[in-house]
Amino acid sequence: MNIILYLLQIIQQLYQQNCWLINFICRYIPLKQWAFDDSHSPKYQKFKVDELPKIVYYHQDWDWKDLNNYYAQRYGKAIKPIKRRTECDIPEDCTCPSCHAPQPYLYKNNGKAGQLMCKICQTAFTPGDNRFDNQMSLKCPHCQHTLVRKKDRKHFVIHKCVNPKCPYYLHNLKKVDKEDLAEDHGKNK
């Protein structure tokens, strides 16, 4: 019998706490503002998570020796190193970032502007700038445009599709009021 009385007392205490919480919510938390139309405005959806992007992985299993052997087998002759008429100012340690061909297979593509071209894989590149270091890229699930890294947060990174003709962007742009577009938003403009 004592257990039943004890359980009834606990139930009454919990009921009183629930009544107090409901009273507190009704007094101090304005629930009526959720019914207004401005809460459905796209400018309040800052933390909306979009569809997952497509991950594209670039990886080449071959190098310049494999490609040169393929050309020799397919066409009957291998690609020869470049015969230079003047002294070459391309550094000896410079290699093609795509196929890793050595300096004898590289030549200047646009004169003295700094762009080099690989004779084996026909890749144009600049020695200080290697676009092949980045083996993965994120693509927009709507327009297949490469996503650009915009902001670094503590636990995640924000990427954005910068394609002005992206159908997802154009669809959401139609939802925004003209007055909201006219407002100056500082950095978010």
Query: Do 71 and 114 fall within a single domain?
Result: yes
Query: Do 120 and 73 fall within a single domain?
Result: yes
Geometric angle at alpha carbon 185, from 180 and 189, rounded to 5°? 95
Query: Mean pLDDT over residues 23-45, rounded?
Result: 62
Query: Do 114 and 73 fall within a single domain?
Result: yes
pLDDT in tens, 143-156: 999 899 899 888 88
Query: Do 120 and 69 fall within a single domain?
Result: yes
Q: Is the dihedral of CA 5, 11, 15, 20 positive or negative?
A: positive
Query: Do 52 and 142 fall within a single domain?
Result: yes
Q: How many domains does the chain have?
A: 2
From 125, 152, 171, the end of a domain falls on 125
The answer as to whether 140 is a domain residue is yes
The answer as to whether 31 is a domain residue is no
Q: Dihedrals φ, ψ of 152, to 5°?
A: -105, 120
Band the pLDDT of 44: cuts 50, 70, 90: low
Q: Which domain holds residue 92?
A: 64-125
From 76, 93, 125, the end of a domain falls on 125
The answer as to whether 166 is a domain residue is yes
Query: Do 73 and 92 fall within a single domain?
Result: yes
The answer as to whether 35 is a domain residue is no
Query: Mean pLDDT over residues 43-62, rounded?
Result: 74
Query: Do 48 and 69 fall within a single domain?
Result: no
* CA R_g for the chain: 32
pLDDT in tens, 124-144: 888 877 777 777 888 999 999
Geometric angle at alpha carbon 156, from 171 and 136, rounded to 5°? 80
Query: Do 107 and 87 fall within a single domain?
Result: yes
pLDDT beyond 80 at 165:
yes
The answer as to whether 146 is a domain residue is yes
Which residues neighbour 27 within 8 Å (Cβ) at sequence distance 6 or greater? none
pLDDT for residue 113: 75
pLDDT for residue 88: 83
For the ranges 60-64, 99-103, 181-185, the lowest mean pLDDT is seen at 181-185
Strands 54-57, 147-152: parallel, antiparallel or unpaired by DSSP? Answer: unpaired
Closest CA to 107 of 79, 96, 69: 96
The answer as to whether 27 is a domain residue is no
Cβ atoms 63, 100 nearer than 8 A: yes
The answer as to whether 11 is a domain residue is no
Residue 65 Cα distances to 70, 72, 162, 181, angstroms? 9, 10, 39, 56
Query: Do 52 and 72 fall within a single domain?
Result: no
Query: Do 165 and 76 fall within a single domain?
Result: no
107 membership: H or E segment, kind and range: strand 106-108
From 81, 104, 125, the end of a domain falls on 125
pLDDT for residue 42: 57
